[in-house]
Structure 1
Amino acid sequence: MAYLLSVTLLWAFSFSLIGVYLAGQVDPYFAVLSRVLLALLLFSPLILRYRFVTSLVWSVMAIGAVQLGLMYLFYYQSFLLLSVAEVLVFTIFTPLYITLLHDLLAKRFNPLFFAAALIAVLAAALMRYQSLSEQYWVGFAVVQGANMCFALGQVSYKNVLARHPAVKQHQLFGWFYVGAALVAIPAWLVLGGNQYPTATEHWAVLLWLGLVASGLGYYGWNKGATQVSSGMLAVMNNALIPAGLLVNVIIWQRDTDLVRLSIGCVLIGFSIWLCRKPAKQGG
């Protein structure tokens, strides 16, 4: 649980950093590529030193390609269509995807998670204060693509590592970034533009996001996912939302309807409470 809490605090700042310093200023495909390669650089000494069975390596690479590579492609595009607050709000569906995927693999169904997801949707409607537009719906769909990739990666990693309990995850995790790089590199070559970083703050933010938020963050989050139940993992995906919104409002002083924000956060908190009870049962 400590891993998930620590990464939640770390990632709460990432939303705003991307929205303030990178979105619309740096090509999103280059931003994705730089984050992935910096994270890979951080773990590359461990890749060269330790060896694992081929099937395990390929599994972790595939997870990295989806959870980080594909997810980032959706994620960065969403900031071109939506505000930071909207991107945060629309991530509320990730817990639903996590529980559905986990329950599908476990051949069971948990109705409480559906109730929690519906309450979270209401929270999003309350916190969404601007008029609806075509761009809004496109942005919503893009965020859901990111959510699905992130959820699938977490559930898959949790299941794969459950079958290899003796593996030291820090020795293996570099292959996660290799998989992500296999998506990020061709995406940048084919779809990338020429909007490269031009200011010191651009490079500083990319370094922070690549080495810390991506490198240490994804390792900590996925390791934490293997130590908690699927219910608690879903809960912690929602806990990031109010944390990120709070950072966006307090540090960057973005205008928002504080009453709606407060009510929405309370409703999200209630959905988290609903998810805690089945989390105690494990799984």
Structure 2
Amino acid sequence: MKLLVLVTILWAFSFSLIGEFLAGRVDSDFAVLSRVLLAALVFLPLTRWRGVPGGMKLGIMATGMLQFGITYLCLYRSFSYLTVPEVLLFTIFTPLYVTLLDDAMYRRFSPVALLAAAIATLGAGIIRYDGLSEDYITGFLLLQVANFTFAAGQVGYKHVMQRYPLELPGYRTFGYFFFGALVIALPSFLVFGNPDKLPATGLQWGILAWLGLAASGLGLYLWNRGGCQVDAGTLAIMNNALVPAGLLVNLLIWNRDADLGRLALGGLVIAFSLWVNNRFRRQALA
């Protein structure tokens, strides 16, 4: 749980940094590719090549293709159609996907976890529901693909690690996650990338470096490791903690208008969903 909270704080800045400094200015495919390459370079010297089952390598690579490759390509494109608050709004469905996918993997149905995720979704919706732009449908669909693949990557990584319980630190195999993401990001840039929209300022390069090394490299590793330590309901709820955190950053740093009453009410609803999950899911599993 502590790891998920730490990464939530780290990622709270990412939405605003992308929306304020990169979206529409830097080619989205290049932005994603640079993040993948930087994160992969961090883990390359740490990666264990021998003694790791082939199924585990492929499984982690697949989660990287989903959770990073496809997710971030869709996420960056969505900023061409949506504002930062709208992007935050449309990410509120990720908890539902996490819960449903986890249940599907175990061939079960957990009403408590689904209820908690639905309450968290309601809380995030209270925070961020307002007027939508004309391009919201395109942006909405892009983000639903991103939400689904991000959820699938989280659930998939957790199940891969449970299936292959090696006596090996997680960081020794997490490099395969970014190698998988590279399989998606590199061809996408080669086919769809725009060489005329590469970073033009030191600030843009610096933001990409931060997003690649900290938000992607460190953040995704800690998030997935944290996801392995909690149940699906808690993981689903923590996905929506990004909404109030991201809005606070957008409000305090970029001085964007926000309804503080709705922010407080939505935050309380999300906190209540976490209590519901912790209280009743344990009883259901007992």
Q: TM-score, normalised by structure 2?
A: 0.91
How many pairs align?
283
Call closer, same or farther: CA 1:60–1:77 in 2, change over 3 Å: same
The aligned residue for residue 176 of structure 1 is: 177
Structure 1 residue 264, shift from structure 2 partner:
2.8
> Hey, what does 2:190 align to over in structure 1?
189
2:242 matched residue in structure 1: 240
2:209 is aligned with 1:207: yes
Does the aligned pair in 1 maintain the 2:48–2:173 contact within 8 Å? no
Question: How far apart in 1 are the matches of 2:48 and 2:190?
Answer: 26
- What per-residue deviation string (whole Å, max 9, x for no partner) do you get for residues 109-152 of structure 1? 12234434444454455444543444112212211111101100
In the alignment, the residues of structure 2 paired with residue 174 and residue 139 of structure 1 have an alpha-carbon distance, to the nearest angstrom, of 30
* Partner Cα distance (2:52, 2:138) in 1: 41
1:79 equivalent in structure 2? 79
CA distance in 1, matches of 2:113, 2:48: 42
Measured after TM superposition, the shift of residue 208 of structure 1 is: 0.3
C-alpha contact (below 8 Å) 1:96/1:113 kept by paired residues: no
Q: Give the aligned partner of residue 33 of structure 2.
A: 33
**Equivalent position SS for 2:235:** helix
Q: Contact between 1:116 and 1:274, CA under 8 Å: does it hold in 2? A: yes
- Any idea what SS the aligned residue of 2:47 has? helix
CA contact (8 A) 2:4 2:223 kept: yes
Q: Give how far 1:19 is off.
A: 1.0
* Cα distance, 1:58–1:246 mapped onto 2, change above 3 Å: same
How does the TM-score come out when normalised to structure 1?
A: 0.92
- Single out whichever of 85-94 and 252-261 deviates more from structure 2: 252-261
Q: What's 1:61 paired with?
A: 61
Partner of 1:149: 149
Structure-1 residue corresponding to 2:232: 230
2 CA distance for matches of 1:70 and 1:109? Answer: 27
Paired residues for 1:118-157 under 5 Å: 118-128=118-128, 130-157=130-157
SS across alignment from 2:213: helix
- 2:94 aligned residue: 94
CA separation of 1:65 and 1:278: change in aligned 2, threshold 3 A: farther
Instruction: Give the aligned partner of residue 109 of structure 2.
Output: 109
Q: Return 5+ residue gaps in structure 2 as ranges.
A: none
CA root-mean-square deviation = 2.1
CA deviation map 1:264-283 (0-9, x unaligned) = 33333333333333554679
**Contact 2:113 2:232 survives alignment (8 Å):** no
Aligned position for 1:2: 2
Matched AA of 1:148: F
Consecutive unaligned residues in structure 1, runs of 5 or more: none
Choose 1-10 or 196-205, whichever is displaced more. 1-10
Counterpart position of 1:271 = 273
Shift of the 129–155 alpha-carbon distance from structure 1 to 2, 3 Å rule, reads closer
Q: How far apart are 1:186 and its partner, in Å?
A: 0.3
The alpha carbon displacement at 1:59 in A equals 1.1
| Contact 1:19–1:83, Cα closer than 8 Å, also in 2 | yes
Query: What SS does structure 1 have at the residue aligned with 2:58?
Result: helix
